[in-house]
Amino acid sequence: MNLASKRARRRSSAQARAPGKIILAGEQFVVLGAPAVAMAINLYSNAEAKPNATNDGSIGIDIPLRYLSKSATPSQLTDIGGFLQPLRIAAEATLDHIGKVGQGVDVNVDCEIPIAAGLGSSAATTVAIISAVSQCQGADLDRREIFKLAFIPERFLHGKPSGVDQATCIYGGTIQFTRPSTVKPVQYRTNPVFLLCDTGIHHETKRLVGSVVKKSLVEKKLFRDYLDQVREISRGVVRALKTEDSVDLGSLMSTNHELLQKIGVSHPKLDQLVRVARRSGALGAKLTGAGGGGCIVAVCATARDRDRIARALRKEGGTPYAISRDVHGVVARPIVTVLK
């Protein structure tokens, strides 16, 4: 469909939802060029967009108060404008892309993904906004267009995003991602038994990624070696998923955690949860996302093991989640109003 016919449809309200993600291998190193393996999960960010009634070109972004009060740091609470800025940038970039600058839209966002926890809440939210805003203006964007547009708010937030977060929530399922834009779906039948556990400590992706990039420029030889190891780990993780070998998968994930410790992005609480998960019978565990707080992901032999390990992690102060794989990625639909 060409752009003109894409836009021929009438404007109406539209809804979109995009999943969060976990990274099974390669976070941080993916920014430096190594492949990462990530899986979309069944926690979602939802956006609803409608053309602005006054048609004055303004962009309204609304988020529930609990979204701020539960998850934001105190400085974010006093800077709601700053908090909303990347979301507004996502809507503006979309209108610009489809040639509708000056068309006002109102966007309501509701995100069930814990924020600043390594689960890709910002990418899922901006991807949902891009999809809902384009749909409400009568444009169907393809996945590549959404991927490119999502870099605009992601760069504003993170400085140097690899693109793995938005690729995972756009495509869904499990993917192997390499910068700048290679997305290879990883197909397998049975999902391993994963357990996610949140430390409750918020992290700042921009600062953590910045520190790793800086270190990689100083310790070039060491990082070349790390990147080789991560390439092997990611390759091994894809193989373990395809052959349904959770023992191998767990061992590779634990090795990946050790590398993340070495580059200084772990946190004592993450290390403690990883240790307790393994001591309680997990086949392997690692931090997921930028590190410095946020979540760990553990792979377990059975659902019964997962429940036992979850109880042990809860005793350590973590918040466990049983997660499953989202296979749809971002989904958008117009909201049709039936006139009587």
Catalytic residues: 165
Cβ at position 258, least distance to ligand PMV in Å: 17
Contacts of 217 (CB under 8 A, 6+ apart): none
- In the stretch 270-309, what mask flags binding to ligand PMV with x, by CB under 6 A? -------------------xx---x---------------
Closest CB 198 distance from ligand PMV, rounded Å: 12
Closest separation in Å from C-beta 313 to ligand PMV = 19
Round to whole Å and give the CA distance between 53 and 115: 31
**Could you tell me the end-to-end alpha-carbon distance of the chain, in angstroms, rounded to an integer?**
32
Which residues inside 161-200 make contact with ligand PMV, applying CB under 6 A? 161-162, 164-165
Tell me the closest approach of the beta carbon of residue 177 to ligand PMV, in angstroms: 8
Name the segment binding ligand PMV (CB under 6 A); options: 27-35, 303-311, 313-321, 332-340.
Answer: 27-35
**Per-residue tokens: 24:** 């099974």
**For ligand PMV, which residue of 120, 173, 250, 329 counts as binding (CB under 6 A)?**
120
Q: Which stretch binds ligand PMV (CB under 6 A): 155-163, 226-234, 240-248, 309-317?
A: 155-163
Judged by CB under 6 A, which stretch of 25-33, 254-262, 303-311, 316-324 contacts ligand PMV?
25-33
Interaction between residue 118 and ligand PMV (CB under 6 A): yes
Q: Report the amino acid identity of residue 214.
A: K
Q: Whose structure tokens read 């520190």?
A: 211
β-sheet with 284-288: strand ranges across: 284-288, 295-300, 193-198, 319-322
Residue 248 lies near ligand PMV (rule: CB under 6 A): no
Distance CA 49, CA 130 (A): 10
**Closest distance between ligand PMV and the C-beta of residue 12, in Å?**
33
Candidate ranges 82-90, 156-164, 267-275, 330-338; the one touching ligand PMV (CB under 6 A)? 156-164
Which residues lie across from 105 on neighbouring strands? 51, 59
Q: Cα separations (Å) of 268 from 137, 291, 292, 316, 323?
A: 47, 11, 9, 12, 24
Half-sphere exposure (Cβ direction) of 64: Cα atoms closer than 13 Å: 11
Of 15 and 205, which CB lies nearer to ligand PMV in the complex structure?
205
CB closer to ligand PMV out of 51 and 161: 161
What are the tokens at 209?
């990624």
CA distance 320 to 27: 21
**CB-neighbour burial class of residue 340 (10 A; exposed 0-12, middle 13-18, buried 19+):** exposed
Residues lying near ligand PMV in the complex (CB under 6 A) are found at 27-28, 30-31, 118, 120, 158, 161-162, 164-165, 205, 209, 289-290, 294
